[in-house]
Amino acid sequence: MLPAAWSRLSRGALAGRGQRTLSLFSSSGPSNWNKVVSDAEKIVGYPTSFMSLRCLLSDELSNVAMHVRKLVGTQHPLLNTARGIVYDSRNNLQMRGLVVLLLSKAAGPSHTASSLLAQDMVSGIYPSQRNLAEITELIHTAFLVHRGIVNLKDWTVSDGPLKDMQFGNKMAVLSGDFLLANACTGLAQLNNTKVVELISSAIRDLVQGIYYENASNTEENSLTDGVDVATWEEQTFLSHGALLAKSCQAAMELAKHDKDSQRLAYKYGKHLSLGHKLNSDLQPFMKRGMGEPMLFSMTAAPVIFHRQIVGQERWHQQLQQAKTLRNQLDYSKLLAAVKSEKGVSSAVDLCCYHSNKALEAIQAFPSSEARSALENIASAITKF
Amino acid sequence: MVLENMAGPWWRLCRRWTATCASTGLSETVCHFNARSVSSSASSLGRASWSSGPGNQRQPSALPTQMNQNLLNPTSSFTRHESRLLYPTLQFCSCRAAHSDAKLKDPFTLAQKDLTSLYDDIKKELFVSKEELKSLCDYYFDGKGKAIRPMIVVLMARALNIHSNKAGDLLPGQRAVAMISEMIHTASLVHDDVIDGSDKRRGKRTVNDVWGERKAILAGDFILSAASMALARIGNNTVVKVLSQVIEDLVRGEFMQLGSKENEDERFKHYLEKTFKKTASLIANSCKAVSILVNSDPEVHEIAYQYGKNVGIAFQLVDDVLDFTSGANQLGKPSAADLKLGLATGPVLFACQQFPELHAMIMRRFSSNGDVDRAWQYVLQSDGVQQTNYLAQRYCQEAIRQISRLRPSPERDALIRLTEIVLTRNK
């Protein structure tokens, strides 16, 4: 029912999404955010994680890096993902690891387990918790890579040679698998089967979340079967929240903190992720005037709210009105339509709600500079 | 010097076994042991070191036993064990002689009772509310696979339980390992098909062909995460480590397929190491895992591991041969799928000894026009197929030698019988 041009556009938006996920933390008020993060990094001792170093220096990934050069000039998403890993790694990619470390430090040494020795801690964090932070980043990166797999049957001649896409896929599958396999062996080394199960279930959630994300990003679905806000939150938790929430919980389990601390850590990770996703979804709607309008996804939170508020019928009308002669979508028109209603402000409210919930969860931990850093991070997601 | 210790007893065993086989009428196995002719032709042609014939002490490195030690190392125990727990090979030979052909249980029949609910259990592990994702994940668990890995695992588990004086059923953890082995295997198949761009598997369309690459990769990841959760629930840290190693080996093995080695000796080593990582590691470590769950003796774990490793390598070697020979009869046209993917497997590597022209083709991964057909011809003109089969036999012999150190049981004998099936299968 929809022309190929639209499908190309939405695919472009999809590929762009990968990129946005990479850079989204810096997009929320760069100066403020960067300061929050770099202050936080000082608290946990040395730079967040060395996963990149160990894995990036492996024979396998150097091999991939050599091959990825062949993809320069093609449209395979792996290229952007790789670029992101190299250039954005300072603050953005390793955000999850940083939060795990800060929470570990905020929770402090174990009170019960005799097997855990306080003198093993570096900057107030157990080595196993540092390993966990690395594993969290490994998993996150693995799925950034796997998200960038291309469906070969959707590819047309005008998109470039199919061979490049096949090759790009091969590299993406292999490097994603390599990162995941390293996460698996890393998890096993933690010697805690509860943590292995918890993080494995986070991987399962992530896969499920990405699967939904793909399904609702295909053009037909995004226009007809609108999801409601509750479903959006559920799916966003799977694709963007479960890994951090469960890693935070696992960090508590590794230090043998009680169930209550585990629950609060989980809560902090969950609400921070959801608030953070809302923040990045809101970005295109918060920029004032000037320049090219940003592309945005039809599953971005403000659009979901908007559709729920105006109803399917109005939404379809607005979509029709936003179509150009060549049947492409005029994003600025659509943006204006969304902005004219309460969709944006509802999404902002929800963002603040999650920020507050995260702050609330962290209050139970004793006051410390690590806790302050976590508070700053939770507050920063409401700044635009 | 390992070899000098080894060659003697190893060949004694082999000859004895041949004799035993002949006397018990297992003629099908005997034909696998007319290795002499292969070896003499090999030495007359002046093969490189790794294509040595049996007992040829100057050309030792093709001996599976030596590969065990140096290449695929994990500390194999080739010293003779006089431990009370273990059954020396000689005893095995005599007890084999006492067995009649009929008493060697068919492994498939014997494992049946433990495997009836295997696929249902796997499907339960793969529970997910999204229907489409569920059908992707269940796609290969349709009961049509051979389930050879779970079969080996449950037979090994029972053989080990008897060996360890534990009567009764499989332990729940052992049953879980059987299931997990099939799940890890399937997850890797789904990803391999995307990597190789395959559109057919087990007579049906591949997941990527039906649903596209993006979803196929996610389905593979989903199966792996479910396997990992089931693994964690066994609650044994050592078992988690042993089976996580498999996942890493699978990926590293896949990476090894990307490159070609210039040097021929290195190339063969590379091939065997890749074979271990891609195929044998899963079987070896699953066998080790069920051993860990019932027994605390590392020597017993090593027997289980070595059996799995040697059978696994033999299994893949035969698979590589079948890529050249199967279908040749039925379809008149070989599949040569490996060549088409640019992969030089055992038969090609052996053939390259006889036809150095293959070297350049291997290096360019059969990418020039006509390479696949020419390489194919060279392989058929050479004795690459026989050589590879012969190598597979030796791995099987080593597997038998290892498993024979366990206390006798129907399951142990079924594992011995299985090595014959591995060698004689034609699909």
Name every chain B residue with its beta carbon within 8 A of the beta carbon of A173: 191, 194-195, 217
Indicate whether B106 pLDDT > 60. Answer: yes
- State the smallest CA–CA distance between residue B334 and chain A in angstroms: 25
Which of B124, B128, B246, B251 has the highest number of chain A CBs within 10 A, making it the mutation to test binding with A? B251
Give the Cα separation of A81 and B88 in Å (integer): 57
Q: Is A204 on the interface with B (CB under 8 A)?
A: yes
| Whether B267 contacts B344, CB under 8 Å | yes
Taken in order B273, B279, B285, B288, the sign of the CA dihedral is negative
| Whether A60 contacts B255, CB under 8 Å | yes
Please tell me the least confidently modeled range out of A156-160, A262-266, B289-293, B345-349: A156-160
Q: Is A65 on the interface with B (CB under 8 A)?
A: no
- DSSP annotation of B277 reads I
Burial pattern A306-343, b for ≥16 Cβ within 10 A else e, equals bbbebeeeebeebbeebbeeeeebebebbbebbeebbb
User: Measured in whole angstroms, how far is the alpha carbon of residue A337 from the centre of its chain?
Assistant: 27
- The C-alpha torsion from A229 through A232 and A233 to A237, rounded to 10°, is 180
Residue B130: pLDDT band with limits 50, 70, 90: confident
Task: Judge whether A73 lies within some domain.
Answer: yes
Task: Judge whether A1 lies within some domain.
Answer: no
pLDDT confidence of residue B217 = 96
At a CB cut-off of 8 Å and minimum separation 6, what does B395 contact?
B64, B310, B311, B313, B314, B317
Answer whether B255 sits within 8 Å of A60, measured CB to CB.
yes
Percent with pLDDT over 70 in chain A: 78
Residue B402: pLDDT band with limits 50, 70, 90: very high
pLDDT confidence of residue A340 = 86
Please tell me the least confidently modeled range out of A24-38, A298-312, B283-297: A24-38
Give all strands (DSSP E) within B375-416, no chain letters.
none
Is A197 or B98 the better-scoring residue by pLDDT?
A197
Give the Cα separation of B262 and B274 in Å (integer): 16
Task: Judge whether A2 lies within some domain.
Answer: no
Which of A64, A76, A207, A212 has the highest number of chain B CBs within 10 A, making it the mutation to test binding with B? A207
Domain of A277: which CATH number?
A: 1.10.600.10
Among chain A residues, CA nearest to B230: A197
CB < 8 Å & 24+ apart, contacts of B2-8 = B2/B65, B2/B66, B2/B69, B2/B78, B3/B57, B3/B60, B3/B63, B3/B65, B3/B66, B4/B57, B5/B78, B5/B79, B6/B63, B6/B65, B6/B66, B6/B78, B7/B55, B7/B57, B7/B63
Task: Judge whether A80 lies within some domain.
Answer: yes
Indicate whether A321 pLDDT > 50. Answer: yes
Name every chain A residue with its beta carbon within 8 A of the beta carbon of B223: none
Indicate whether B67 pLDDT > 70. Answer: no
Answer whether A211 sits within 8 Å of B228, measured CB to CB.
no
pLDDT confidence of residue A5 = 38
pLDDT confidence of residue A296 = 81
Which of A204, A212, A231 has the highest number of chain B CBs within 10 A, making it the mutation to test binding with B? A204
| Whether A88 contacts A26, CB under 8 Å | yes
Is A382 or B49 the better-scoring residue by pLDDT?
A382
pLDDT confidence of residue B90 = 36
Q: Are strands B204-205 and B200-201 parallel, antiparallel or unpaired?
A: antiparallel
Indicate whether B398 pLDDT > 60. Answer: yes
What's phi and psi for B376, nearest 5 deg? -55, -50
Summarised one tens digit per residue, pLDDT across range A300-320 is 899 999 988 888 888 888 888
Give the Cα separation of A358 and B195 in Å (integer): 41
Name every chain B residue with its beta carbon within 8 A of the beta carbon of A128: none
Answer whether A154 sits within 8 Å of B130, measured CB to CB.
no
| Whether A92 contacts A26, CB under 8 Å | yes
What's phi and psi for B407, nearest 5 deg? -60, 140
Summarised one tens digit per residue, pLDDT across range B331-378 is 444 578 888 888 999 999 999 989 998 888 998 889 888 888 898 889
The shortest CB-CB distance from A185 to any of B237, B244, B254 is to: B244
Is A42 or B327 the better-scoring residue by pLDDT?
A42
Other residues' Cβ atoms within 10 Å of the Cβ of residue B195? 23
> What number of residues does chain A have?
384
Please give the full DSSP string across A297-335, using - where no structure is assigned: -TTSHHHHHHHHHHHHHHHHHHHHHTB-TTS-B-HHHHH
Please tell me the least confidently modeled range out of A52-66, A337-351, B51-65, B278-292: B51-65
At a CB cut-off of 8 Å and minimum separation 6, what does A369 contact?
A43
Domain of B204: which CATH number?
A: 1.10.600.10
Residue A157: pLDDT band with limits 50, 70, 90: confident
Task: Judge whether A5 lies within some domain.
Answer: no
Residue B97: pLDDT band with limits 50, 70, 90: very low
| Whether A277 contacts A240, CB under 8 Å | yes
The total number of structural domains that make up chain A: 1
Among chain A residues, CA nearest to B227: A200
Indicate whether A227 pLDDT > 90. Answer: no
Please give the full DSSP string across B176-200, using - where no structure is assigned: HHHHHHHHHHHHHHHHHHHHHT--E
pLDDT confidence of residue B78 = 40
Indicate whether A357 pLDDT > 50. Answer: yes
Is A216 or A249 the better-scoring residue by pLDDT?
A249
Strand-pairing partners, residue A329, are A323
pLDDT average, residue stretch A56-78: 72
Please tell me the least confidently modeled range out of A45-59, A286-300, B54-68: B54-68
Give the Cα separation of A127 and B204 in Å (integer): 48
Nearest alpha-carbon partner for A315 in A241, A251, A227: A227
Range(s) of the domain holding residue B200? 2-424
Residue B26: pLDDT band with limits 50, 70, 90: very low
Give the Cα separation of A22 and A145 in Å (integer): 11
Range(s) of the domain holding residue A364? 13-380
Residue A221: pLDDT band with limits 50, 70, 90: low
Cα of first residue to Cα of last residue in chain A, in angstroms, is 37
Name every chain B residue with its beta carbon within 8 A of the beta carbon of A207: 218, 221-222, 225
Indicate whether B14 pLDDT > 70. Answer: no
Residue B181: pLDDT band with limits 50, 70, 90: very high
Q: Which of A104-118, A185-199, B113-127 tops mean pLDDT?
A: A185-199
Which of A7, A14, A173, A205 has the highest number of chain B CBs within 10 A, making it the mutation to test binding with B? A173
pLDDT average, residue stretch B34-62: 37
Residue A223: pLDDT band with limits 50, 70, 90: low
Among chain A residues, CA nearest to B222: A204
Indicate whether A55 pLDDT > 70. Answer: no
The total number of structural domains that make up chain B: 1
- The C-alpha torsion from B388 through B392 and B398 to B403, rounded to 10°, is 170
pLDDT confidence of residue B100 = 44
Among chain B residues, CA nearest to A212: B130
